[in-house]
Amino acid sequence: MRSFCLFIYYLIGQHLPMQPFPGYKFFYKMRYFLVKRIVKKCGKDVIVKDKCYFGNGQRLSIGDRTQLGQNAQLGGEIHLGDDILMGPDIVIMATAHAMDRLDIPINQQGAAEERPVKIGNDVWIGTRAIIMPGVEIGDHSIVASGAVVTKSFEPYSVIGGVPAKLIKKRTDKK
């Protein structure tokens, strides 16, 4: 059943229209129906926007009420908490290319060891943000649009930049 749902998702499901197309909620439910049967764990009321790619989904866990943004690219072991909001074109990768050997071209070294990514609860990830292997983003954090996150951040962090750095804490007084 899982393989069949994966096939249908990539053939049809990921191409279904989204808001503001009339009936978009029905298409969200169709994508949710498929994704719930593909990924390792899928919470309640998850919204998967169009053209999301997550490979075979076997190492992807999605919390309740999380939204996967349009054109999201997710690869490897990724744990998404509850109430995550993603803008379009997000990239979250738990794997990268090996590049340790100087005597072998990088494109022939294969993949580096997978390092799981964990995104906490109530996190907003802005448009075109990139989250690299091994990163943990704490609960209630905000990742600015275009940020390249190469290290982990504590809860309530507002982060941005290339590479991403702490801009402020959401708990700071104004």
3-state secondary structure of 27: helix
Q: Does some domain include residue 72?
A: yes
Residue 53 has pLDDT above 90, yes or no: yes
Among candidate residues 15, 79, 97, 140, the one labeled active-site is 97
11 sits in which H/E element = helix 2-11
Residue-range definition of the domain harbouring residue 164: 2-169
**Per-residue pLDDT tens over the stretch 79-126:** 999 999 999 999 999 998 889 899 999 999 988 899 999 999 999 999
54, part of any domain: yes
Is 79 among the catalytic positions? no
- Domain membership of residue 174 (yes or no) is no
Interaxial angle between packed helices 24-36 and 2-11, expressed in degrees from 0 to 180 and rounded to the nearest 10? 140
In a domain, 132, yes or no: yes
Q: How many domains does the chain have?
A: 1
Would you call 30 helix, strand, or coil by DSSP? helix
The residues with which 60 forms a beta bridge, in sequence order, are: 78
The CATH number of residue 80's host domain is: 2.160.10.10
Write the CB contacts of 164 (distance below 8 Å, at least 6 apart in sequence).
143, 144, 147, 148, 149, 150, 151, 153
